[in-house]
Structure 1
Amino acid sequence: MKRNWKVLIAACVGSMILSGSVLAVSPGVRIFINNVEFASSAFKLNVDKGTTMVSLRSIVEQFRGKLTYKDNSIYVTMPESSNVSMQVNSLENALSAGSAEEAVQTWIKGVQKRSGAMQYAVLSPTLRQNTKQEFEDNFWVTGGSSPHMGEVEATQLHSKQLTPDKVEFSFDYPLVVMTETIGTGSASITVDKIKRESVDYWAISDISLRDSGDTGIMIGATAASITYQNTTYNFTLTLPKSWEGKYEVRDRVSDRAGHNLDFINKVTKTGTLFTISVWSKEFWQANEADISGMIPAEKVGEKGNNVYIYHPPTDVQYDSSDEKAMEDYLTMSKDVKTIKASFKIIK
């Protein structure tokens, strides 16, 4: 005997039961699946005394599944995608971290294997939400083959307890091409304890790298930074965290123009990385053409009678015989373009 079976829409596309509490607001109910609207008639949608009902068969068949009634039982067979979804959920649960360090180690392994899925499995709910689309757009493949992140020993992880439920890990990692280490990256990762009814777990809430692109596509990571604020001349710059303690600012005064703030590499002692000049508007307007013909000067801001001019040094700022100083200067100088773009005037 053929029967029509109807069930309460209870909210889980996986089990084909969706919650009817929201849908039962008015008789003119609209139904969406993955943000695509379907005609109510296609699912035999019906509102009865505040409860919204839908044909189980129609919604199962919409997902290319099969429903049969046999021996007073309902059998639902879903397509392969549903089985894959359950398999993915099972793998993610298996990768769920029982400790803060385990979360970091899993993320490192995911980066080394270029597995976006492994990295995603140990991200916090918020970071997952913010990165899922980017993972999908890259087909869950991250990083690059050259360079890639080399081995990171557990002893290289330095932890700092921020709160009982938050730990920060910092570590350096080798940048490897083939079997040769060509440089070193640096990471700072924050891990939070996530509360849930069944069992708590640890997940990564923030990923900061000295260079967020040193191993290719690094989803969810940002470049670690510090803020330089000049309250005398009312501007800020965002500097890489790797610059912390490695630079100083010297104010050179020009009677004609104004002030020149030189950002100096401390290892070289005198090596100027770049300069922010604070000149009068009149001086700049009168001399812009001549100055731009001599140095690559660029106006980056204006406030009142002051203009802010960015310009790099015009000659070599390090002793090439001092390899350590030269390497330190050149490493920092790679960040200057990004720093220039971060210039902001304090209102």
Structure 2
Amino acid sequence: MKKKSVVLLSTVVALAMFSGVAYSASGLKLIVNGNVITPEVPPQIIDGSTMVPIRAVSEALGADVQWNEAEQTVTVNQSDRASMQRQIDLLQTALAAESADQAVKTWAKEVKNRNGAAQYALLSPELRSETVKTYEDLNWVTGVSSPWIDSYQVSDGVQADNGSVSYDVGFQLKTSTGSAGEGTVKVTVGMKDGKWMVTGLTYKDGSDELNGLVVVPGA
């Protein structure tokens, strides 16, 4: 796998600029991606800036750290994420629908499967921007083990003047003791970059949020 190098002109500590890194003002606790890290050199506040050991943070994030005594440099080598992103992009392309019916039916199926990543791949860029944080917070798994979606029905599409198509998708919920109610989501599908994508999601007829089984922006 390709590597990318970031050369940091620091010897012992450097200001950490990594996502997933948090600090506690009390006792300067260092947390990386939810895990408490206890480095040999403790975090410090210097002239109002929080400084942490670059090796401790980098290695906690899966990077390799090298020290060059002659050049007085620290080199952080992190696995190139471009390859992984390319894989994700290709998978999302593979899921892209070639018809409005295919888009809504695939979306409904993935809601039933609780597959947030697949649902997200079917959304328009605008809806992705609105919902990405929600999906991340759910760890890309929508819904809960109970109640679950037992079945769903997709209505015939109604085409608008702008070419978009709207559907009503009814979900029936169930638990181990029987029916747990139902809810309907209006799904609007439109053409984006030559592919059909979900461009709108709204709950209908006073439906509740289906116990978190469906991600609807602003709900």
Q: Specify if TM > 0.5.
A: yes
Counterpart for residue 187 of structure 1: 185
> Contact (CA 8 Å) 1:192, 1:205: kept in 2 or not?
yes
Counterpart for residue 159 of structure 1: 157
Q: Tell me, what secondary structure is at the counterpart of 1:151?
A: strand
- Report the CA distance shift for 1:128/1:89 in structure 2 as closer, same or farther (over 3 A): same
> Contact (CA 8 Å) 1:127, 1:220: kept in 2 or not?
no
Percent sequence identity is 30
Q: What is the letter of the counterpart of residue 117 of structure 2?
A: A
Pairs within 5 Å for 1:327-338: none
Pairing 1:208–2:206 present = no
Q: Tell me, what secondary structure is at the counterpart of 1:193?
A: strand
Q: Distance in 1 between matches of 2:102 and 2:157?
A: 12
Output one character per residue of 1:79-116: Cα deviation in whole Å (capped at 9) or x when no partner.
Answer: 37443322221211110011111111121122111111
Q: Distance in 2 between matches of 1:203 and 1:138?
A: 22
Higher mean displacement: 205-214 or 87-96: 205-214
Give the number of the structure whose alpha-carbon radius of gyration is greater.
1
Moved over 3 A (4+): 80-83
> Contact (CA 8 Å) 2:182, 2:210: kept in 1 or not?
no
Aligned length: 150
211, 216, 219: which one pairs with 1:220? 216
Q: With the length of structure 1 as denominator, give the TM-score of the two structures.
A: 0.38
> Contact (CA 8 Å) 1:212, 1:221: kept in 2 or not?
no
> Contact (CA 8 Å) 2:3, 2:78: kept in 1 or not?
no
Counterpart for residue 173 of structure 1: 171
* 5+ long unaligned stretches in structure 1: 1-13, 17-31, 35-62, 66-76, 224-347
- Report the CA distance shift for 1:171/1:219 in structure 2 as closer, same or farther (over 3 A): closer
Pairing 1:141–2:141 present = yes
Aligned-pair Cα RMSD in Å: 3.1
Q: Distance in 2 between matches of 1:179 and 1:165?
A: 43
Deviation at 1:140, TM superposition (A): 0.9
- Report the CA distance shift for 1:106/1:151 in structure 2 as closer, same or farther (over 3 A): same
* 5+ long unaligned stretches in structure 2: 5-16, 20-61, 65-76
> Contact (CA 8 Å) 2:63, 2:79: kept in 1 or not?
yes
Q: Tell me, what secondary structure is at the counterpart of 2:167?
A: strand
Pairs within 5 Å for 1:1-347: 79=79, 81-153=81-153, 156-178=154-176, 180-194=178-192, 196=193, 200-210=194-204, 211-221=207-217
Q: With the length of structure 2 as denominator, give the TM-score of the two structures.
A: 0.58
Deviation at 1:190, TM superposition (A): 0.8
Q: Distance in 2 between matches of 1:87 and 1:206?
A: 26
Output one character per residue of 1:276-308: Cα deviation in whole Å (capped at 9) or x when no partner.
Answer: xxxxxxxxxxxxxxxxxxxxxxxxxxxxxxxxx
Q: What is the letter of the counterpart of residue 144 of structure 1?
A: V
Q: What is the letter of the counterpart of residue 166 of structure 1?
A: S
